[in-house]
Chain A
Amino acid sequence: MQLAEVVGTVVATVKYEGLEGVKFLIVQPLDRDRRPKGRPVVAADAVAMAGPGELVYIVASREAALACPEPFVPVDHAIVGIVDEAERSG
């Protein structure tokens, strides 16, 4: 799992079956110092409460689909938590 910042919203009416009601957001993965790391990706919002500007943590690969209401869906990144506080030393 990695930290990411929500930077945008994706609206899609026509989606593959099983993805109805799933919200998609554009997230920028962050490194441990919260600098952008790699390219932004589209992630399913599995907490249904994330919004632009928020710090979240995301899960990638097969596990992302498991976070969705229907576990067999074509999703490769999902927001699984909104970060209240993340602190790191060293």
Chain B
Amino acid sequence: MKIGRVSGTVVSTINHPIYDDRRLLICDMLDERGEDSGDYLICVDAVDAGRGETVLIIDEGNSARQVVGDVHAPIRAVIVGILDELIVDGDVIDVAGR
């Protein structure tokens, strides 16, 4: 799994039907120190995450299909958690919404 920060949204009306009524969020990927790594992912939101929140992302198809409950879903990246705390080598990393 990966850690990211919600930075934006994607709106689409013409899409594969599995994406109907699902929120798509742009997440900036973070390194283990909570720093921006420069990369990003478009993720399906499964936990009602909001902009600025630090989130847990699964970027793997089988798990994503399990989350959306469809064995043929062409979805790979899903937000599956919102981080409350991140501690690395004993240091508390700030994950509060920015």
Contact = CB atoms under 8 A, between A and B. Distances in A.
A54 to B, nearest CB: 9
Contacts of B3: none
A20 interface: no
A83 B11 contact: yes
What bracket does the count of chain A residues touching chain B fall in? 20 to 34
A40 interface: no
Q: Which of A1, A59, A81 has the most CB of B within 10 A?
A: A1
B61 interface: yes
Contacts of A86: 8-11, 26
Contacts of A80: 15-16, 18-19, 74
Contacts of B52: 90
A1 B77 contact: yes
Interface of A: 1-3, 31-32, 46-47, 49, 57, 59-64, 66-67, 71, 78, 80-90
A81 B14 contact: yes
Contacts of A89: 7-8, 51
Cβ-closest 7 pairs across A and B = A88-B8, A81-B15, A67-B74, A1-B42, A32-B40, A81-B12, A66-B74
